[in-house]
Amino acid sequence: MASIELLAILIGILLIAGVSKRLHDTIITLPMLYTLFGLLVGYLFTDRLSLSVEDPVVHIIAELTLVFVLATDASRIKFKSLFRYHNLPLRLLGIGLPLTIVLGAVVAIILFGQLGIWGAVILAVILAPTDASLGQSVVENPRVPARIRQALNIESGLNDGIAMPFLLLAVSLEVSSEFHLGSGIFLRLVAAQISFGLLVGIVMGYLSARYIYWGLKSGWMSSGFQKICWLALALLTYGLAKFIGGNGFIAAFIFGFTSSNAISQEESELRRGRKYLVDVGDLHALRHGAFASGAQGF
């Protein structure tokens, strides 16, 4: 990538960042602006970019982006909110998402018959998950009922991770049908990837929360590095899952959900402990003050 393209991208990011707060209360969201900016840069510099879809750099960027998106989306979902507002999210994820995939596959077969059945299912699974950031003004609007906002927030955070196993299943069936291989081999492979991905995500999420909590409690880790550490641990979870034969994206998603909820619980316990220490300190101060006042009176 030449310097002129890099400069254009950096200037565009700075310009959008400069108006980010002003756009907060409008119907225009930052993802909309970045999408338009990406289209503009692509239109202006298409002939100048030497990257192709098969370029390893593109694959690395796409994988890193998806890992961070899955982990951060899942980290927004708090278990207490999920338990409290579970009715609408369960209907959205358990009924709405599968129906969207089925109807999307039917439409894809009609419009793009050359894809085949499983190719159409792959396209439908990719397009089915939604992102609440596009409707951020609705999700953060206090005039919208809290249960609706929480339902949209929970659904948008979980739908990517829930759709991932369906995508793996559709891809495995497409590959097996294309190369005339037994689908059982690929189904077992998908099952192993999902299982190992879940296992690594849960274990790494809990251990990561304990590690960050140790840094918070001991005072050895600064608040800025706690955030950087969390991102590094998300990438480590992705790498470990792939190393043992699991799906790294599922592991990153489960890592985000597990670590965020475990860290929140640890922080709340730490705050309660600090509050107790402050209360005890106040009692000591009051006691010494009373003794001092009594001594002066005497």
Among 72, 57, 79, which Cα is nearest to 231's? 72
Among 71, 124, 121, 128, which Cα is nearest to 96's? 128
Q: pLDDT tens track of the chain, all 298 residues?
A: 456 767 877 888 888 888 877 777 777 777 788 888 888 877 776 665 566 667 777 778 888 888 888 888 788 777 776 777 678 888 888 888 889 999 999 999 999 888 888 889 999 998 888 766 666 666 667 787 777 877 777 777 777 778 888 888 888 777 777 665 566 676 777 788 888 989 999 999 999 988 888 887 787 877 777 778 888 999 999 999 989 988 888 899 899 989 888 877 666 555 555 444 444 444 444 344 443 444 444 3
Q: Using the structure block, give the residue that is written with the tokens 């955030």.
A: 227
Which 8-state DSSP code applies to residue 208? H
Compute the distance between CA of residue 209 and CA of residue 70 in angstroms, rounded to an integer. 17
- The one-letter code for the residue type at 25 is D
Compute the distance between CA of residue 223 and CA of residue 212 in angstroms, rounded to an integer. 10
Among 221, 204, 218, which Cα is nearest to 260's? 204
Asked whether 249 and 197 are in contact (CB, 8 A), the reply is: yes
pLDDT at residue 293, as a whole number: 41
pLDDT at residue 240, as a whole number: 93
Q: Using the structure block, give the residue that is written with the tokens 């097996």.
A: 176
Asked whether 202 and 256 are in contact (CB, 8 A), the reply is: no
Domain ranges, ordered by start, for the chain: 1-50, 60-77+183-298, 85-181
Asked whether 134 and 31 are in contact (CB, 8 A), the reply is: yes
Contacts with 147 (C-beta within 8 Å, 6 or more apart), sequence order = 85, 88
Give, in order, the Cα–Cα distances in Å from 281 to each of 5, 34, 277, 284, 293: 59, 51, 6, 5, 18
For the stretch 43-46, contacts whose Cβ atoms lie closer than 8 Å and that sit 24 or more positions apart, written own/partner, are: 44/8, 45/4, 45/5, 45/8
The total number of residues shown for the chain amounts to 298
The 10 Å CB-count burial string (b at 16+, else e) for 259-294 is bbbbbeebeeeeeeeeeeeeeeeeeeeeeeeeeeee
- The one-letter code for the residue type at 55 is D
- The one-letter code for the residue type at 198 is L
Compute the distance between CA of residue 9 and CA of residue 207 in angstroms, rounded to an integer. 37
Among 70, 80, 66, which Cα is nearest to 150's? 80
- Residue 139, judged by CB atoms within 10 A of its CB (0-12, 13-18, 19+), counts as middle
pLDDT at residue 89, as a whole number: 80
How much is the pTM?
0.69
pLDDT at residue 2, as a whole number: 55
pLDDT at residue 53, as a whole number: 64
pLDDT at residue 288, as a whole number: 44
pLDDT at residue 42, as a whole number: 75
